[in-house]
Structure 1
Amino acid sequence: MTAITPEPPKHLKARALKPGSRRPAKELCSECGLCDTYYIHYVKAACAFLNQQFPDLETQTHGRSRDLDNADDCYFGVYQRMMAARKREPIPGAQWTGIVSSTAIAMLEKGLVEGVVCVQSSEHDRFQPKPIIARTREEILAARVNKPTLSPNLSVLEQVQQSRMKRLLVIGVGCQIQALRTVEQQLGLEKLYVLGTPCVDNVTRAGLQKFLETTSRSPETVVYYEFMQDFRVHFKHEDGSTETVPFFGLNTRELKDVFAPSCMSCFDYVNGLADLVVGYMGAPFGWQWIVVRNERGQEMLDLVQDQLEVQPVFSQGDRRQAVQQSIPAYDKGVTLPMWAAKLMGVVIDKIGPRGLEYARFSIDSHFTRNYLYVKRNYPEKLMAHVPEFAKRIVSQYKLPKS
């Protein structure tokens, strides 16, 4: 018997743009993939860069919005608990220890979901993302390791409806998840789980190439990289070696314009609309930062809890002076000599912010930079686009007047 493929609603049919078409958000488009589907009908409400709506979506997702008088809420969003964790038996080839992959596999194999939206690499380019709906352990494992480029994860949403799938896990970053939450009720699902990763400073594929060629000793052999808590960029190479480059030694003048305009206009570093967030920014070096935002997030974490070594989160140091000094340095494209950059990195690593204070440092430095970017390039959007929690964070610092 031939399966019948459900038709999209008539008012959505034929609304999708062809991949690569000009997007409603124009140059601010983060290529989340929504506009590659017939759900483009909802883009004016759903796009994070056309309609910022954190309080409403947080209430819809978590039962409340963040308390702006609570500093941790302002920084980290609505949450029930945080911890630092790592797998006792890491997954070979995982970027860290494989908590995200293990959670997705457990969700699938224990029958909580029928599919997992994740991102594999193109057969032709290890850094070119290929979103899929994974239905096996092997397909999930093939998606391990972050893809540091803009990725159209939501381009597979049509397949969800066509497959008659009712229980789904989506792995994604903030801009994708805001769009997903807006169209969630249109997907016909009985249960949606969202596993988020923190995200900042993504690039186009061309931008990534420029970053690698400007920064790494061997750009053609880089497997993955990450900006880490020791104030260095860590590059993993094909031969298993790790290369580190001090933050303060990056060629800021050359790289200043390499990041996507959407990332320079984003204020959802911590993925506030996910159920469970797994990243590194609030944890000690070598550990992952886990944020449980709601009961669905706890349900997901429970599946892998016995595989993890955990410790409480902590906060140490004071970020404020380092953030204030970084504002004009970035603004003017200052690059230190490598010897000075290495020395500064060693000093800050020893006496600088750690744990949650490092996370606040990262949030502050990016929010101040992004606030200035929006103010200068999209002044008409500034007040509506920047969430209230971000305005409060930015208000702690003295910004250039122009």
Structure 2
Amino acid sequence: MTATAPHQKARALKPGSPRPAKALCSECGLCDTYYIHYVKEACAFLNQQIADLEAKTHGRSRNVESEDDWYFGVHQEMMAARKQEPIPGAQWTGIVSSLACEMLTQNLVEGVVCVQNTPEDRFQPQVVIARTPEEVLAAKVNKPTLSPNLSVLEAVEQAGLKRLLVIGVGCQIQALRAVEKQLGLEKLYVLGTPCVDNVTRAGLQKFLETTSRSPETVVHYEFMQDFRVHFKHEDGSTELVPFFGLKTNQLKDVFAPSCMSCFDYVNSLADLVVGYMGAPFGWQWIVVRNQTGQEMLNLVRDQLDVQPVHSQGDRRQAVQQSIPAYDQGVTLPMWAAKLMGVVIEKIGPKGLEYARFSIDSHFTRNYLYLRRQYPEKLEAQVPEYAKRIVAQYKLPPT
């Protein structure tokens, strides 16, 4: 007779009930399952353990002598890529969707944990275990809201799935790695996306209404390497809003406290990461972290145009200037914001240096947030690599 696993005796929390991480809960979904039994160890905001989990997942943690490791995590290879034949309607060219479809088609996995949207709302996440390529394709386009991706783990176990691909962001993947051994899987593949500044659905609505000329027709948006927010609308048009023209004074409190306390922008514990911030405009940035990630990439490599990553410019002055600007909620007139955007696009950081700019800007902001709002958590919550990055800058006094 097989003994009942400890987590199977636990009970998921009811919707709306207080979460163990309290205000810092990222709604990853773990507490929506009986895996809540492991939450004190697994939750990224109760037990930050990236270095230990990197060593278990990748065979080593970050090399303190390597700046690329500080910034981008453990990796075997980085490149810029785009699909030769883009998937219609994909937010980029469809690398993530293509890879997930290929893994199903080749029977490497029995299911893919991904995020579709509800029938009523294109931005409201609906987590599914996709069993067909059609179900994967129904999940294309990012949902920039907090999403309980791990809420289906109980269903995965009960369905007897043994080979699984999970697509997710850093806080979800840290919790997933912490409970990986309890899932009873023969093989887990993790495809990550970089993640920063998620919001609740209400917070997203405030951002859209504050920033876009037509919030009701936005299909998707992204903060891009040209220092503009790109809004794609239903009619196919693209609206560009300079970073420096955002109404920071109205938006400072829109981001989730968990995102303001996170230092895993680059999804350190995924096998393979697909984003954009380290690549030229129009391309995607791919980070292979381990051999499993290499095997995943090989499935679609012949469908891609690939080029090496590059780095240009110096981010440091722009980052240092951004610290007080964000802190004080500075918003430039639109004409000045557009002019500054043009200048920075021409002479500012590009490629990996733009990625470092984005990481530095968010890490310094988040460090200040923790120092002010949760000083008792500061030492334990900030990983060593993030402390090294933040130490490059002069921060305002407490």
Question: TM-score, normalised to structure 1's length?
Answer: 0.98
CA contact (8 A) 1:246 1:345 kept: yes
Of the candidates 76, 90, 104, which is equivalent to residue 72 of structure 2?
76
- Equivalent residue in structure 2 for 1:57, among 34, 53, 57: 53
Contiguous gaps of at least 5 residues in structure 2: none
1:95 matched to which residue of 2? 91
Q: Distance in 1 between matches of 2:15 and 2:238?
A: 36
Distance apart, 1:193 and its partner CA: 0.3
1:226 aligns with 2:226: no
The aligned counterpart of 2:272 is 276
Decide whether the 8 Å contact of 2:6 with 2:37 is kept in 1: no
CA distance in 2 between counterparts of 1:22 and 1:156 reads 20
Instruction: Report the Cα offset of residue 7 of structure 1.
Output: 10
2:10 and 2:37 in contact (8 A); partners too: no
Deviations 1:183-239 (A, max 9, x none): 000000010000000000000000000000000000000000000000000000011
Q: Return the offset for 1:55.
A: 1.1
AA aligned opposite 2:125 = P
Aligned residue for 1:12, secondary structure, equals: helix
> 1:14 deviation in Å?
4.2
AA matched with 2:244:
F
Match of 1:206 among 202, 207, 218: 202
Aligned match of 2:314: 318
Deviations 1:308-343 (A, max 9, x none): 000000000000000000000000000000000000
Equivalences for 1:248-327 in 2 at 5 Å? 248-327=244-323
Q: Show the counterpart of 1:159.
A: 155
Q: What amino acid maps onto 1:372 in structure 2?
A: L
Amino acid aligned to 2:191: L
After TM superposition, give the deviation of residue 12 of structure 1 in Å.
3.2
Match of 2:22 among 20, 26, 31: 26
Change (3 A) 1:59 1:10: closer
1:378 aligns with 2:374: yes
Is residue 7–residue 162 contact of structure 1 (8 Å, CA) maintained in 2?
A: no
Answer yes or no: is the 8 Å Cα contact 2:7–2:36 preserved in 1: no
Match of residue 343, structure 2, among 340, 347, 354? 347
Q: CA deviation at 1:8?
A: 6.3
Structure 1: distance between partners of 2:378 and 2:163: 38
- Unaligned runs of at least 5 residues, structure 1: 1-5
Equivalence for 1:136:
132
Aligned equivalents of 2:142 and 2:27: distance in 1?
16
**What is the distance in 2 between the residues matched to 1:11 and 1:373?**
34
Q: Which residue identity lines up with residue 288 of structure 2 in the other structure?
A: V
Give aligned pairs, total: 397
Contact map agreement 2:190 2:272 (CA 8 A) in 1: yes
- TM superposition shift of 1:69: 1.6
The amino acid across from 1:134 in the alignment is A
Match of 2:106 among 110, 117, 125: 110
For residues 349 and 278 of structure 1, the distance between their equivalents in structure 2, rounded to whole angstroms, comes to 23
CA distance in 1, matches of 2:292, 2:103: 11
> Is 1:86 aligned with 2:82?
yes
Identity rate of aligned residues, in percent? 83
Stretches of 4+ moved more than 6 A in 1? none
Task: Give the superposition deviation at 1:250.
Answer: 0.1
SS in 1 for 2:47: coil
SS in 2 for 1:127: strand
TM-score calculated relative to the size of structure 2: 0.99
Instruction: Give the drift of 1:9.
Output: 2.9
Partners of 2:30 and 2:64 in 1: how far apart? Answer: 30
1:39 pairs with one of 11, 35, 38: 35
Q: Deviations over 1:343-388 (max 9, x none)?
A: 0000000000000000000000000000000000000000011000
Task: Deviation per CA, 1:145-200: give whole Å up to 9, x if none.
Answer: 00000000000000110111110000000000000000000000010000000000
Q: Distance in 1 between matches of 2:176 and 2:277?
A: 24
TM superposition shift of 1:10:
5.3
CA distance in 2, matches of 1:19, 1:56: 31
CA contact (8 A) 1:203 1:260 kept: yes
Match of 1:387 in 2: 383
Amino acid across the alignment from 1:168: L
Q: Given residue 33 of structure 2, which amino acid in structure 1 is its aligned partner?
A: T
Look up the match of 1:3. none
Structure 1 residues 278 and 175: CA distance shift in structure 2, 3 A: same
Secondary structure of 1:273's aligned partner:
coil
- Report the alpha carbon displacement of residue 124 of structure 1 after superposing the two structures with TM: 1.1
Q: Distance in 2 between matches of 1:206 and 1:173?
A: 20
Go from structure 1 to structure 2 and tell me whether the alpha carbon gap of 1:11 and 1:264 turns closer, same or farther (over 3 Å shift): closer
* 1:337 is aligned to 2:333: yes
Q: Who is 1:170 aligned against? A: 166
Residue type of the partner of 2:86?
P
Q: Using the TM superposition, give the Cα deviation of residue 22 of structure 1 relative to its aligned residue in structure 2, in angstroms.
A: 1.2
Give me the whole-angstrom Cα distance separating, in 2, the residues matched to 1:18 and 1:101: 32
